[in-house]
Amino acid sequence: MATVSRTTPITETTPILREAAPVKPAAVRNVAIDAYRGLVMLLMMAEVLQLSRVAVAYPTSLFWKILAFNQTHVEWFGCSLHDTIQPGFSFLVGVALPYSIASRIAKGARFAELFGHALWRSLVLVALGVFLRSMDHSMTYFTFEDTLSQIGFGYPFLFLLGFYSSQAGSGKRAWATLALVLVGYWLVWARYPATPANFDWRSVGVSPEWNAHHNFTGFAAHWNKNYNFGNRFDQWFLNLFPRENRFEYNSGGYLTLSFIPTLGTMILGLIAGVWFRESRPKIPMKKLLIAGVSGIVLGLALHYSHICPVVKRIWTPSWTIFSGGICFLFLAAFSWVIDVKGLKKWAFPLVVIGMNSIAAYCIAHFTEGFLESTFRIHLGPSFFQFAGAGLQPFFQGAAILLCYWLALFWMYRRKLFLKI
């Protein structure tokens, strides 16, 4: 499955050497990309801070309320900082792909070898996602809505697009594919019957109160929670697998088919990666800013015109566009600070995480419970209450988060990078 490498992972910014040279130059990391990936993974790992519990303990504090909001997913439409984690991770997969393909081609790899690796990576990502979700179940829990599985399903298609786009030397193919994916996906959902007037929302896990506050009316009702094309697909597809109980709906509204518009997010990242390679050593700042602002404006326009609401949980096409705009702006900001202004040292803690993102993902999922019990056994159950019981979850989480980072720093110092 995954392999541990002592070599620097592929994200170089130097041109490909097409002819033999007496000395092969070392690959140069794109620090801005690593730092942005590190921020994305840090936000994911920082869930251990349990800011929502702290906000409950201090109900009159606007400070903790704002922090808690940005560490939770919005109920349906809208966006918090936490909602940008999965788009950011998916986007950066696309950004890195042109570098990876170019590096492997320079080493003599053929299409068959490259595509075989893409298929293998896809399989491992999906399998790892299923494995992690099955840890609290009595049998394998076959659902595919998590970040790794969503990327895994779309990765072979992304590779094919990246390979042939790089051969053509143009991003037009990528833009056309993106439009085809998003418009086609939107059309399928728009043609699926909307919720009937007398529908019992409780049958799909939606309370009348939730329905009144969050679900849509009119044309936008095609994207309501658990009564949509994606949920209907899952009621068929997920029940093909052995299950503890028949699948009827996901309590959070998440869907397998979200991998299709998630592919759109990765394509946006692919386009950004092509821009970086084509403009080197300069930064394509103007393109990044235009794409970022345009994506946010277009996504909001689609939402408020009721053509397609911005809903992260079901990854609507408008969410792909809106969140993609945010990703472009994040990448532009990191590139401006690190590459244009030359300020790199501050980003080192993020780079440590970003260069080992798969390891960070696994460490956060596998070790949280172990670290909690270790602190409780050796430090006592009240150790982290030194600032009051309300802040205990925060300080305990901060200690766990520090352990995560130290483990990744240990791997970084020894050049141990978990790759798929």
pLDDT in tens, the chain (420 residues): 555 555 444 343 333 333 333 444 445 678 999 999 999 999 999 999 999 999 999 999 999 999 999 999 999 999 999 999 999 999 999 999 998 998 899 899 899 999 999 999 999 999 999 999 998 888 999 999 999 999 999 999 999 999 987 655 567 889 999 999 999 999 999 999 998 888 999 999 999 999 999 999 999 999 999 999 999 999 999 999 999 899 999 999 999 999 999 999 999 999 999 999 888 888 999 999 999 999 999 999 999 999 999 999 999 999 999 999 999 999 999 999 999 999 999 999 999 999 999 999 999 999 999 999 999 999 998 999 999 999 999 999 999 999 999 999 999 999 999 888
Query: Within a domain: residue 56?
Result: yes
Query: Within a domain: residue 122?
Result: yes
Which two structure tokens, joined as six digits, stand for 251? 């309590």
Which two structure tokens, joined as six digits, stand for 214? 């969050």
Which two structure tokens, joined as six digits, stand for 184? 């086609």
Query: Within a domain: residue 365?
Result: yes
> What is d(CA 351, CA 166) in angstroms, rounded to the nearest whole number?
27
Query: Within a domain: residue 242?
Result: yes
CA-to-CA dists, residue 99 to 15, 122, 288, 329, 351, angstroms: 10, 18, 18, 20, 18
Torsion, Cα of 362, 363, 365, 368 (10° steps): 170
Instruction: At 48, give phi and psi (nearest 5°).
Output: -65, -15
Closest among 52, 76, 84 to 66, alpha carbons compared = 52
CA-to-CA dists, residue 418 to 117, 154, 202, 366, angstroms: 16, 21, 44, 15
Query: Within a domain: residue 166?
Result: yes
Q: 52-87 in b/e burial notation, b at 16+ Cβ within 10 A?
A: bbbbebeeeeeebbebbeebebbebbebbebbbbbb
User: Could you list the residue range(s) of the whole structural domain that residue 81 is in?
Assistant: 3-15+28-419
Query: Within a domain: residue 147?
Result: yes
What pTM does this model have?
0.90
Q: Which uninterrupted H or E stretch holds 419?
A: strand 417-419
Query: Within a domain: residue 273?
Result: yes
Angle between helices 259-279 and 147-168 (to 10 degrees): 40
Place of tokens 């969050």: 214
Query: Within a domain: residue 139?
Result: yes
> What is d(CA 372, CA 379) in angstroms, rounded to the nearest whole number?
10
State the distance between the two ends of the chain, measured CA to CA, in whole angstroms. Answer: 7
* Contact indicator for 65, 55 with CB cutoff of 8 Å: yes
The count of domains in the chain is 1
What is the CA angle 331-272-146, rounded to 5?
75
3-state secondary structure of 138: coil
